[in-house]
Structure 1
Amino acid sequence: MKLLACPVNGFRNIDEFQSFGPLRETPDPEKTSDAEWGQHLFRADNRKGIVVEWWRHVPSNVFFLAERDTESNEVVRTFLPAETGERR
C-alpha cells in the first residue's frame, strides 16, 4: 500500500487523495490573449524533475501542496498553501 503524508491528517492510503495538477501562476486577464489562455488551460508543462502539485485529502477536504519527483514518483514533502512563502 502506498502512503501519502497529508499535512493535517498524517500518513494515509493514496486512495484517499485526488491530484489537481501543478501549481501555476495565473495569467493577468487584461494582458492575456485567447491563444495564451488556451495554452495556460489546456497544455501541461510535463517536465522531468521536482514539481509542486495541488492535492486534496478527499475525506477531510484538505487542499495542500506536494513536491514530487516526476521521474521516481517520490514525494519529497507536503505542505499547506500558507507555507509557500516566496516559493510561489
Structure 2
Amino acid sequence: MIINHPILGPRDSSEFVYLGDATLVNRPDWQAADALAQFTDYIHTRDNPAGLHRELWYHEQGDRSWLVVTRDTVTHEITAVEMASDVARAGGAS
C-alpha cells in the first residue's frame, strides 16, 4: 500500500506505523467535571467500521510525522492524507 505523504510524496506503508482511530487527536478536557468518564471512553472505545475510516499513521522510517489517513477498510484504497497537526488545528478528526 502506498501512502502519499503531503510533504514527501508517495511512500510505501512499510515506512509507517498504524496507530489506530484518528479521533485520538481529540483529547478530552482533563479539567472537566466528568474527566474520568471522558478519558475512560477515549482510551477504551473504538469504532471498527467497514468502509471509510480516518486513521493515525506515524512515519517512523522517515520524517517522524503524524498523518491522518482516510482509508477504506474493505478495499484499502486511500482517499486522503493530511498532516495530523493540520487536522488538530482545524478542530480534530470526527
Matches within 5 A, 1:3-82: 3-24=2-23, 25-29=26-30, 30-58=32-60, 59-82=62-85
Structure number with the higher helix fraction is: 2
Cα deviation digits, residues 17-69 of structure 1 (max 9, x gap): 11121122222222325344223202211122222111121121121211111
Q: May I ask how many residue pairs the two structures share in their alignment?
A: 87
Contact 1:18 1:57 in 2 (8 A): yes
Of structures 1 and 2, the one scoring higher in RCO (CA 8 A, sep 6+) is 2
Alpha carbon RMSD of aligned pairs, Å? 2.2
Identity %: 22
